[in-house]
Structure 1
Amino acid sequence: MSKEPRNVPASSRKDIFMSEISNESEISNEFEFPEFIEPGLEKIEVIAKFNGDIVRVAEILEAEVEIIYQNYAIITIAKDKIKRLASYPQIEHLELPKNLYFELSSSLTSSCIPSVQRADGFNLSGRGVIVAIIDSGIDYMHPDFRNSDGTSRILFIWDQTQTGTPPVGFNSGAEYNNQQINNAILSETPYQVVPSRDTNGHGTAVAGIAAGNGRASNGINRGVAFEADIIAVKVGYRGYESFARSTELMRALKYVIDKARRFGKPICINMSFGMNNGSHRGDSLFETFITEISTNWKTSIIIPTGNEGSAGHHYHGKIQTGEVQEIEFFTGPGLETSYLSLWKNFADNFAVEIIFPDGSSSGVVNIENQVKTVRRPNLILNVFYGQPSHYSLEQEVFFNITATQGPLPQGIFKLRLIARNIVDGNYDIWLPTLEEVGEDTFFSDPSIYNTITLPATAEKVVRVAGYNARVGNIALFSGRGDLADPNSYPDLAAPSIDIQTARTGGGYDSFTGTSVAAPFVTGSAALMMQWGIINNNDPYLYGQRLRAFLRIGAERKAGIPYPNASFGYGTLCLYNTMNYLVEYELGEQFWLNLT
């Protein structure tokens, strides 16, 4: 409520006010109504800085006023009365409000997704497509994964960590179908019916971005493919929820693709996992399996580049014949085990030696040793010289350090390389990922490049980097490709910082990392597949074709060369991609008519 002026007779107060506003015919034309105001609105809100009786001004103009703080008000007024409002002496300044969004909403906007979802745009929701989340599980009780009638959108959950009835063709874990999940939702004790939980919360967050429908927030926190079907695999092995081996992921891939084929639906698979134990060249069996199965059925696999860009876990060097080099790395507190994975050209010959923090040495380990075990007080070092395989020309020298009592010693370790006969000389070394050893274990002179984690290094998958959608910069933690190998670059980048998405237990929370960048692309792929395969505009829109259109539609800044090791071909812009699909559809139809 406004305050009346003191020591002024009531009969005069009206006269003073009316004298201030009596000359309404002399309205200033200095306040120009912005042309970009949304058309069709009869009334709008404006923010007003005022003095005096703003309530009376609002009454005269038939406007609504909310005094929100001293001399600040929100006025809802007819558009054609804005200039009159601006002319009153009580108004010091007017400002149109600026739109604010939850972080997920703004990230969708920066990725050009809402215009593809809207009915007056492409009207795509993911209907008819399966989104598979291979992760830490899913909170099936969360409203964002239910239909409007309360039934679950989740077709299957396979919890690999539980004992129960496994899927057909598999020997472990417990599978729950849609009917069982619906029975659990209706039960007063749901977790006695379907006992699978996402205790980590990672999988639920990823699923919320890729396919959540935002029911818990009245649509505000809606994800990308909000009407897609969902299959969730909680990876791990029996009793070990925090651990997943590459074999579990391989089983999970087969499982979800088999399900999609059975239902006759295209599938987008989000796999937000990463590790450093490998050559990073896509040549392990794990990676080649992923490459090959990605061509099976109508499938697209999306994997983040990992969070190793600024972790200090990669070292690149070059050595010459007769040279001795020392590479320092630090170990943080509480570690019971760690490793170094060194990859070099098989034609190069050098010996290795580890200097421990107390100054003692492992002794020189030559290639002739092949395998050597070194015992020190409270720890064991195993050194293994690998050999090329029929997949790889490279050679790995693997160092595994394990504490026998208590944690590993903190401090500086040194890896000494003693070159003999060198032909190429380039080599790369990786420490375990942040998730394994934390941020206190790192090389003293690391490289930020060639830091994309496995299995994003597999061929024929969509590699997704993370960037800050607020400022447009690549996230410091985002894994980067090898500068010397453009084939190792990310495909594109998506928002990855402070993303609001579904939280285990209900509601929403903020998440950061490339793991939450990938599902923006996974959901986008589902919308593309709906348009192409389900709506019969492009029946072959999956795999490498889908990947290519994501690349061409990515937004690119002027003056920056693309592709590059950080952003790949640019940042996700689904609307651009869809427009390219429409453009090329015409050529495709012409070709089909000719044949």
Structure 2
Amino acid sequence: MQTLNEAGILPVQNYPTLQLKGRNILIGFLDSGIDYTNPVFQNLDNTTRIRAIWDQTVQTGTMPEHFSYGSEFTEEQINEALRSDSPFDLVPSTDETGHGTYAAALACGSAVPEEEFLGAAPEASIAVVKLKQAKQYLRDYYFIPSDAECYQETDLMLGIRYLNLLADSLNLPLVICFTVGSNMGGHIGTLPLPNLIENYGSLANHIAVIGTGNEADQRHHYANTLTNGSKNKTVEIRVGENVSGFSMELWTDIPNTSSISIISPSGEDTSRIPFHAGSSAELDFLFERTKVSVDYRILVEKTTSELVFFRFNSPAAGIWKIVIEPITVTDGQFHMWLPVTEFIDGEVYFLESDPYYTLTNPANTQSPVVVSYYNGTTNAVSQTSGRGYTRSGQIKPDLTAPGINIRGPVSNGRFETHSGSCAACAVTAGAVALMLEWLLYIQKAPGIDSFQIRSLLILGALRPDTMEYPNRIWGYGQLNLYHTFEVMRKL
């Protein structure tokens, strides 16, 4: 409950004239599933607060309307399972990792007094999409470790559509808690997934909350600037032993263009790989027994971006050098990203890294509430929380929330303490649900969109004088829902 107090949520739950608990708000989760048997997701009469689960991994049940795979389990089916001695025989949807259960509990779990636990919106309705693992050919192409949780963009997009259709069918406002992300893309919010989130975010009563990820100190981002007549820039990448492979992306904006060459740890130099839009090169490094592919792509993501995509297959250990040669230069800025930590099976990092521009996609999207995390106990900056801004200079994150050493339920009735983007995102999603409850059902607002919700949360954010605002780490300050109400009262 300390976390809820730090975020100004507990006072809003308990204030006599507010008593906000998330009633008649649907919070949706796209994650590893949910342990629906946990009492924190039940009403006082032991019935479920989960309105539906779309389990993309189970193919034996009834598919959701408008979707061609997975199984949908309704509120009635879940209640029947809860009354059974063998619930998973009736609703065989589980959460193997506990990640989805943890996020849902922090956002909207009921009280567990003996554990001193309470979710941010403990009376909200719940909807869950259990995401299936990405297809094997994609995991192979991007060298995703076999034990990593990895989801396809298409499954995420369909999950978002499912949650929005469900909310509309129930006539409930929707908050989506988005706790997954990657380093792929141009970090300007123009991939298909961010575009879809943006489209739904323009609708009234459909709010997305997205975490910034945990990449700030992982040394997976590099940034530099080329100038006319300047020397080439050399980027050094440290690769450890027994790395099966990795991908990497270099992004800049037209009319900036550049070509590259690669120098292996033994000193083998490819020389300049000529720049031609849409061209590819397959490179074999004899002494390293390493294959590298390089693709030049321009006007990517329906923007003016240039992308150079690298794929290292069985890279030898040591220092790999990427030499960036300017062809045409305007502002000359370029960025490079390695995959998120979970998607690399060993040690791979930039020797000269930059902790900024480390928001994981889709946190680079404009309309959602994008939240980083800090240590609520010490009020300290988190060294791992993803940092802004977007590559186009848009201010993200919007604000920060507690995310260090947060205790909550996971699968099989256990409680665990975790730190990271997931916790802050879930707490903020619960806060947004309380805000929606007040606006729609107490103030009788006709509708509220993502931009308005975000503005209200920013209005009430606490801004310790140790920083200037907005900034790349905390955005406009620390989430404090009670202070938002205090500020609005004075307007």
TM over 0.5: yes
The two structures, once aligned, show a CA RMSD in angstroms of 2.1
Question: Retained in 2: the 8 A contact 1:160–1:238?
Answer: no
AA aligned opposite 1:393: T
The partner residue of 1:230 within 123, 126, 144 is: 126
1:374 aligns with 2:283: yes
1:205 aligns with 2:108: no
Aligned to 2:258: 350
Instruction: Report the CA distance between 1:172 and its aligned residue.
Output: 1.1
Distance 2:355 2:300 in 1: 28
Question: Retained in 2: the 8 A contact 1:129–1:267?
Answer: yes
Aligned to 2:416: 509
The partner residue of 1:383 within 294, 308, 325 is: 294
Aligned ranges for residues 403-482 of structure 1 at < 5 Å? 403=314, 408-437=315-344, 440-482=347-389
Distance 1:415 1:563 in 2: 34
AA aligned opposite 1:395: E
1:325 aligns with 2:238: no
Question: Retained in 1: the 8 A contact 2:203–2:449?
Answer: no
Aligned to 1:290: 197
The partner residue of 1:360 within 244, 268, 293 is: 268
Question: Retained in 2: the 8 A contact 1:115–1:121?
Answer: no
AA aligned opposite 1:450: Y
Aligned ranges for residues 139-178 of structure 1 at < 5 Å? 139-164=35-60, 165-178=62-75
1:190 aligns with 2:122: no
AA aligned opposite 2:213: G
Structure 1 pair 201/520, CA: closer, same or farther in 2 (3 Å)? same
Aligned to 2:433: 526
Deviating runs (4+, > 6 A) in structure 1? Answer: 238-241
1:386-429 CA-partner distances (Å, limit 9, x unpaired): 111473111111111223xxxx4222211111223323211000
The partner residue of 1:262 within 156, 169, 185 is: 169
Q: Secondary structure at the match of 2:104?
A: helix
Instruction: Report the CA distance between 1:334 and its aligned residue.
Output: 4.2
AA aligned opposite 2:385: S
Aligned to 1:279: 186
Determine what percentage of the aligned residue pairs are the same residue.
Answer: 30
Distance 2:365 2:264 in 1: 35
Structure 1 pair 531/333, CA: closer, same or farther in 2 (3 Å)? farther
Instruction: Report the CA distance between 1:560 and its aligned residue.
Output: 2.5
Instruction: Report the CA distance between 1:246 and its aligned residue.
Output: 1.2
Q: Secondary structure at the match of 1:487?
A: coil
Structure 1 pair 541/507, CA: closer, same or farther in 2 (3 Å)? same
Distance 2:340 2:47 in 1: 39
1:497-554 CA-partner distances (Å, limit 9, x unpaired): 1100111110311011111111111000000111111334433334211110010110
Structure 1 pair 577/333, CA: closer, same or farther in 2 (3 Å)? farther
AA aligned opposite 1:109: N
Instruction: Report the CA distance between 1:191 and its aligned residue.
Output: 1.6
AA aligned opposite 1:344: T
Structure 1 pair 376/370, CA: closer, same or farther in 2 (3 Å)? same
Structure 1 pair 333/225, CA: closer, same or farther in 2 (3 Å)? farther
Distance 1:439 1:303 in 2: 27
206-215 or 432-441, which moves further after superposition?
432-441
Aligned to 2:142: none
AA aligned opposite 1:209: L
1:168-211 CA-partner distances (Å, limit 9, x unpaired): 10111111111111122222222221111111111111111100
Distance 1:502 1:434 in 2: 25
Distance 1:307 1:421 in 2: 34
1:242-267 CA-partner distances (Å, limit 9, x unpaired): 32111111111111011111111101
Instruction: Report the CA distance between 1:364 and its aligned residue.
Output: 2.6
Distance 1:485 1:567 in 2: 18
Question: Retained in 2: the 8 A contact 1:138–1:197?
Answer: yes
Structure 1 pair 185/362, CA: closer, same or farther in 2 (3 Å)? farther
1:102-121 CA-partner distances (Å, limit 9, x unpaired): xxx11111111111001525
Instruction: Report the CA distance between 1:237 and its aligned residue.
Output: 4.4
Distance 1:245 1:487 in 2: 26
Aligned to 1:341: 249
Aligned ranges for residues 30-41 of structure 1 at < 5 Å? none
Question: Retained in 1: the 8 A contact 2:220–2:349?
Answer: yes
Aligned to 1:572: 479
Could you tell me which runs of 5 or more consecutive residues in structure 2 were left unpaired when the two chains were aligned: 137-147
Aligned ranges for residues 479-490 of structure 1 at < 5 Å? 479-482=386-389, 487-490=394-397
Bigger Rg, structure 1 or 2: 1
Structure 1 pair 390/146, CA: closer, same or farther in 2 (3 Å)? closer
Question: Retained in 2: the 8 A contact 1:110–1:573?
Answer: yes
Question: Retained in 1: the 8 A contact 2:395–2:475?
Answer: no
Aligned to 1:62: none
Aligned to 2:306: 395
Q: Secondary structure at the match of 1:420?
A: strand
1:300 aligns with 2:211: no
AA aligned opposite 1:161: T
| Count of aligned positions | 475
Instruction: Report the CA distance between 1:439 and its aligned residue.
Output: 7.5
Distance 2:484 2:39 in 1: 30
AA aligned opposite 1:465: S
Instruction: Report the CA distance between 1:385 and its aligned residue.
Output: 0.7
Distance 1:371 1:386 in 2: 9
Instruction: Report the CA distance between 1:158 and its aligned residue.
Output: 0.8
Distance 1:506 1:333 in 2: 39
Distance 1:498 1:511 in 2: 5
AA aligned opposite 1:449: Y
Q: Secondary structure at the match of 1:446?
A: coil
Question: Retained in 2: the 8 A contact 1:462–1:547?
Answer: yes
Q: Secondary structure at the match of 2:394?
A: helix
Aligned to 1:33: none
Aligned to 1:113: 9
Aligned to 2:217: 310
Instruction: Report the CA distance between 1:583 and its aligned residue.
Output: 5.0
Distance 2:176 2:478 in 1: 20
Distance 1:321 1:119 in 2: 61
Question: Retained in 1: the 8 A contact 2:367–2:450?
Answer: yes
Structure 1 pair 555/136, CA: closer, same or farther in 2 (3 Å)? same
The partner residue of 1:130 within 26, 29, 39 is: 26
Q: Which has the higher contact order (CA 8 A, sep 6+)?
A: 2
1:200-238 CA-partner distances (Å, limit 9, x unpaired): 1111111111000124x4572011000000001111248
1:499 aligns with 2:401: no
AA aligned opposite 1:560: M
